């Protein structure tokens, strides 16, 4: 159970604040909702309290979690199977599934993989778009968890990715 004004992560969309809890009749049955207002989007949604786990809504990461995330960048990149690595459609499907999971580690893996691919070749439009999306999702959560400006979080991510690429 979450509380009012608590920050949560909505998979694929970023961080939202629980503005209030309310009850509405849906199909003749009383249903309890969280009203989520996204921090960096002009968007508010109602999420049934019973569906939080299936949607993947989770608490905002802690500063310690972010430290673990940064350590993950130093881990060697596990190459995809040749077939998957060469086929953008299959990789994209896998990546989108990871984004929908909302798990910070999986989003970080996508970012790390795409930065690695970017070092080897120019990214396609779809890859660039996905890289931008994952960077924004990560930077937003890092900024809030570490109490820094989002621009600084982006710089930290890019600097870290560049250091890792130089070591490989």
Supply the mean pLDDT for the chain.
Answer: 88
Q: Would the CA dihedral through 80, 66, 148, 12 be positive or negative? A: positive
Element holding 1 (H helix, E strand): none
Question: 76 pLDDT band (50/70/90 cuts)?
Answer: low
Q: Is 161 in the same domain as 84?
A: yes
Q: How many domains does the chain have?
A: 2
Q: Looking at residue 34, what DSSP letter applies?
A: E
| pLDDT value at 84 more than 80 | no
Q: How far apart are CA 148 and CA 146, in angstroms?
A: 6
| pLDDT value at 16 more than 80 | yes
Q: Read off the pLDDT of residues 107-166 as tens digits, 9 standing for 90 and up.
A: 998 998 888 888 888 999 999 999 999 999 999 999 999 999 999 999 999 998 888 777
With a pLDDT cut of 90, the percent of the chain lying above it is 61
Q: Is 61 in contact with 108 (CB distance < 8 Å)?
A: no
Quick check: is 82 in a domain? yes
Q: Is 130 in the same domain as 144?
A: yes
| pLDDT value at 32 more than 90 | yes
Which residues in the chain belong to E strands, given as ranges? 7-10, 14-26, 29-38, 44-48, 58-59
Q: Is 138 in the same domain as 163?
A: yes
Q: Is 156 in the same domain as 96?
A: yes
User: What's residue 83's pLDDT?
Assistant: 41
Question: Rounded to two decimals, what is the model's pTM?
Answer: 0.87
Segment 60-86 shows an average pLDDT of 73
Q: Is 3 in contact with 11 (CB distance < 8 Å)?
A: no
User: What's residue 144's pLDDT?
Assistant: 94
Quick check: is 1 in a domain? no
Half-sphere exposure of 166 (CA within 13 A, CB side): 6
Quick check: is 2 in a domain? no
Q: Which structural domain range is residue 17 located in?
A: 7-59
Quick check: is 99 in a domain? yes
Q: Is 68 in the same domain as 53?
A: no
Q: Is 40 in the same domain as 103?
A: no
């Amino acid at each position: 159970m979450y509380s009012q004004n608590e920050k949560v992560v909505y998979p694929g969309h970023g961080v939202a604040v629980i503005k209030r809890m309310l009850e509405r009749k849906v199909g003749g049955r009383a249903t309890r909702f969280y009203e989520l207002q996204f921090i960096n989007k002009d968007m508010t949604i109602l999420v049934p309290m019973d569906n939080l786990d299936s949607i993947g809504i989770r608490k905002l990461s802690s500063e310690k979690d972010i430290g673990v995330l940064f350590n993950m960048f130093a881990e060697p990149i596990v190459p995809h199977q040749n077939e998957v690595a060469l086929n953008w459609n299959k990789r994209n499907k896998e990546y989108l599934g990871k984004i929908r999971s909302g798990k910070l580690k999986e989003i970080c893996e996508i970012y790390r993989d795409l930065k690695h691919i970017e070092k080897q070749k120019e990214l396609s439009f779809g890859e660039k778009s996905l890289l931008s999306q994952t960077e924004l999702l990560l930077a937003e959560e890092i900024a809030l968890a570490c109490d820094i400006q989002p621009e600084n979080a982006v710089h930290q991510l890019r600097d870290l990715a560049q250091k890792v690429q130089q070591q490989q």
